[in-house]
Structure 1
């Protein structure tokens, strides 16, 4: 399902495991992605598509990750976008605006598209992709991206590209991007660190591959009590000064600082 206007946690569920669909909805994830791509073997693609189609209902909207344009499954996967209960399509290996246009032309709807940037070509053309019709957000497919560029790991190697995606999203006027998965399911410290890194680089959420990752990701993208207290002090002081620059905690606060404080409060509906 899609539980927030700006989801933080996006949980993948294999499309050929329908017994997990309802459990995913109860995981606390802000958005659930029923996956027809990487999580499903070639021989099970058709079975997964049928399972998703049978389960879909408008009462529990979910996202669907289709197979990439150019694969033999793309055409039939895209047809699912016409069904009620699909709240958006995740498009893997997005490398051009035409990839998005091909998807949208098949769904024949105005539903949101979440474009996965997973290759060097996709990164090079990310602004074009971000400006394509109905693209809601960019997602960073870090594992495939590392493989494509033959990067050994995601220590600090991808931070430059994260900055690029954050800037591109802003320029395109779409929501901030979503970071890739942490494959080490049992390493909560690593997941927490990677979640905070994504937030620092301007990302709005993170992809998850297991329900146990969801609460850590949600907490990582939530403002801390200290941040909320600071934001309240800034907004109150700025309003009392009638829009003029004012000092809070010994630091000058002008309109850009106030806007950042207000965005923190807005994130929790305060």
Structure 2
């Protein structure tokens, strides 16, 4: 859960798609009991998941939000089947994380998608049981009443900054609604990577290879990283330049991170 890059949603109301989702090759499959399932079908979705379990080794479940009529039943199901993690929508407080973690016995992925959630990021990140943050960009835009994607950039920065300050892994970017528009998927994934995100939520298997390729360091980045690491090792702590620029410890560490990401 801390290092996964590609996260694929599959509706809990479509058990015929469970095996296909697992076979698609995502790092983590998220069985969705929330937005992808109509209200009248939520009980059936839980039964679908219970009947099909186990469906794979790296499976998370997106439960319904705290305070909804479905939350307690979703929590009880996850306590029973024991998924790798639960995705908690509308995470807005440490108490939300605690309720999900203690109720399910699972690690929690906090989906931050409201103004209140961003205001309370400090306490959320400190909550026991939280292992990573996720960005609910579409719901946040609705909550804020904004239409320009750039209006969410401050929120992107907040997620990355609080994750780093709290010792959490890089957060997971929100979905791209365009299923087959590879140019848009690639552009939005690369932007997320530049902002400091370490993964992306996907809604269709066709998005997975695009996201994986965009998140991976490029050939030019890797060549630069190898030159930096080799020069630093040969310098044995002395000042050294690469490509006409002085390199120091943060630059060397960034190069090493790029090489680890490629591996």
Same fold (TM over 0.5): yes
- Give runs of aligned pairs for residues 184-195 of structure 1, distance below 5 A: 184-195=178-189
Q: Distance in 2 between matches of 1:177 and 1:132?
A: 16
Query: Displaced runs of 4+ in structure 1, greater than 4 A?
Result: none
Q: Give, in angstroms, the shift of residue 254 of structure 1.
A: 0.8
Aligned match of 1:152: 147
Give the one of 106, 113, 120 matched to 1:118: 113
Q: Give, in angstroms, the shift of residue 268 of structure 1.
A: 2.6
Aligned match of 1:14: 11
Structure 1 regions of 5+ residues with no counterpart? none
Q: Give, in angstroms, the shift of residue 243 of structure 1.
A: 2.2
SS in 2 for 1:158: helix
- Give runs of aligned pairs for residues 66-215 of structure 1, distance below 5 A: 66-84=63-81, 86-107=83-104, 109=105, 111-154=106-149, 156-215=150-209
Q: Distance in 2 between matches of 1:148 and 1:12?
A: 22
Aligned match of 2:60: 63
Structure 2 regions of 5+ residues with no counterpart? none
- The answer on whether the counterparts of 1:28 and 1:215 sit within 8 Å (CA) in structure 2 is no
Q: Give, in angstroms, the shift of residue 228 of structure 1.
A: 1.1
Using structure 2 for the length normalisation, give the TM-score: 0.96
SS in 1 for 2:50: helix
- The answer on whether the counterparts of 1:66 and 1:90 sit within 8 Å (CA) in structure 2 is yes
Residues 1:47 and 2:41 are matched in the alignment: no
Q: Distance in 1 between matches of 2:115 and 2:201?
A: 20
Q: CA RMSD in A?
A: 1.4
- The answer on whether the counterparts of 1:114 and 1:137 sit within 8 Å (CA) in structure 2 is yes
**Structure number with higher helix proportion:** 2
